[in-house]
Amino acid sequence: MEEYQDRSLRGRVFQKLREDILSGVYKEHDELREITLGETLGVSRTPVREALRQLELEGLVTIVPNKGAYVTGITQKDVHDIYKIRSMLEGLCAHWATEHITDRQIEELEEIILLSEFHLGKKGSEQAEQVSELDGKFHKVLYEASDSRILEHVLSDFHKYVQMARTMSVGAKERAEKSIEEHRAILEAIKLKDADRAERLANAHIMKVMENLHIEE
């Protein structure tokens, strides 16, 4: 029981630090001190140390012997590679969704699109955040609709890795409008059971995000 709790604690610390790195709370080259993190998270140094080792395996942290752990972050090439791979996987996801999507999921996606259009018309600093959050929800439901636990897990991970870049893209009103239109076109293809068209549209949707962010190798 105690061993299980240790693993669970380590997992929670890992997820929290990973999320903070990917969302920009910790910047590239920031030092991650075990004692400080332990105090902040209310845990001992052991789960923090183990979480940092796991983050190093993911390439998000570099541990320098006798010095400490430093944030590596996501490079421009990492973002480029993730978007290229994601574009193909999103296409596959949309293709499979035409076969497995439920009526409830179609209703969810339609509601998300309507809410996105509503919030896009609002003014203020919260507008971009709300539209970005709804964009994430659209893709989350689409991943679930593929009826593939593995594909859903991989795409969700990729989605987290490019969270900051995605927010910047969707946050721009002109791009947000086009993004919502692309979401609607993908959904219509899925509803018509046109798997090939849904795949092409989903693939192109992610590639347009790359173009908008000027992501190059």
pLDDT reported for residue 196: 98
pLDDT reported for residue 93: 97
- What is the Cα–Cα distance from 20 to 15, expressed in whole angstroms? 9
Instruction: Compute the C-alpha angle 26/85/214, nearest 5°.
Output: 65
pLDDT reported for residue 3: 43
- What is the Cα–Cα distance from 66 to 21, expressed in whole angstroms? 22
The per-residue pLDDT for range 68-88, each reduced to its tens digit, is 999 987 777 887 888 899 999
Domains and CATH numbers, the chain: 2-71 (1.10.10.10), 76-213 (1.20.120.530)
Segments of the chain scoring below 70 in pLDDT: 1-7, 123-126, 163-173, 213-217
pLDDT reported for residue 164: 57
pLDDT reported for residue 4: 40
pLDDT reported for residue 216: 58
Q: Is the full-model pTM beyond 0.85? A: no
130: Cα within 13 Å, side-chain hemisphere: 16
